[in-house]
Chain A
Amino acid sequence: ETGVTQTPRHLVMGMTNKKSLKCEQHLGHNAMYWYKQSAKKPLELMFVYSLEERVENNSVPSRFSPECPNSSHLFLHLHTLQPEDSALYLCASSQRGIGFWGTDTQYFGPGTRLTVL
């Protein structure tokens, strides 16, 4: 399936590195999401972009920085991460936009498995 793609699929980085995760959706959707999935924890919504609107989870540390240059692409810039940031980072998209994001089906990418040493 190629609806939502993510690169890289695996990433190992040191705490002083800077890296970026990329997500691309080919579905013409209006909302895109970043999630963090850690072992034994529920998926945690980090950021949402809905057309011109960005919604964020206030508990996400500033070492995670999202960027949405257009409706099809979403990036997550990483810098000075901690070992506890190691997790699966999932991107998703959905059709509905402002005011209604999250209320319809989300299509997930395969995820980037991040390990911070």
Chain B
Amino acid sequence: RKEVEQDPGPFNVPEGATVAFNCTYSNSASQSFFWYRQDCRKEPKLLMSVYSSGNEDGRFTAQLNRASQYISLLIRDSKLSDSATYLCVVTKTGGGADGLTFGKGTHLIIQP
């Protein structure tokens, strides 16, 4: 089983719609979770951290489900500028070569 799995998509979504995608992880010792956004031929940039209680930043909501070992990202009222690849990152305190793992990313395309 892969350590961090994401549906690669692409998700084709009309502008203004709500879209959600998940990321599952296999290491139950994982402690920190993030969503990064990567635009085409650009570097990844942090979108938001994911806290145990869930968190919201404007149109974006992130949630963590430890029991089922997944995190989710919900985007409301999607904009054309939301088109990007969304990377899930899972880490565990203490590092180690396996301490930080990226998913392959979910490709989102917002259509006018």
> Which of B43, B99, B104, B105 is the one whose CB lies under 8 Å from A102?
B99
Chain-B contact segment, one of A12-20, A53-61, A64-72, A74-82: A53-61
Q: How many residues belonging to B are interface residues under a CB distance threshold of 8 Å?
A: 24
Q: What residues of chain B lie closer than 8 Å to A45, measured between beta carbons? A: 97, 100-102
| B-chain residues with CB within 8 Å of residue A62 when the two chains form the complex | none
Q: A42-B105, A102-B100 are in contact. Are A108 and B94 (CB under 8 A)?
A: no
Any chain A CB within 8 A of the CB of B45? yes
B residues with a Cβ closer than 8 A to A are: 4, 31-32, 34, 42-46, 49, 87, 91, 93-97, 99-105
Extra contacts, 14 of them, besides A42-B87, A42-B101 (Cβ < 8 A), are A40-B104, A45-B97, A45-B101, A56-B97, A90-B43, A102-B32, A102-B91, A102-B95, A102-B99, A103-B31, A103-B93, A104-B32, A105-B46, A111-B43
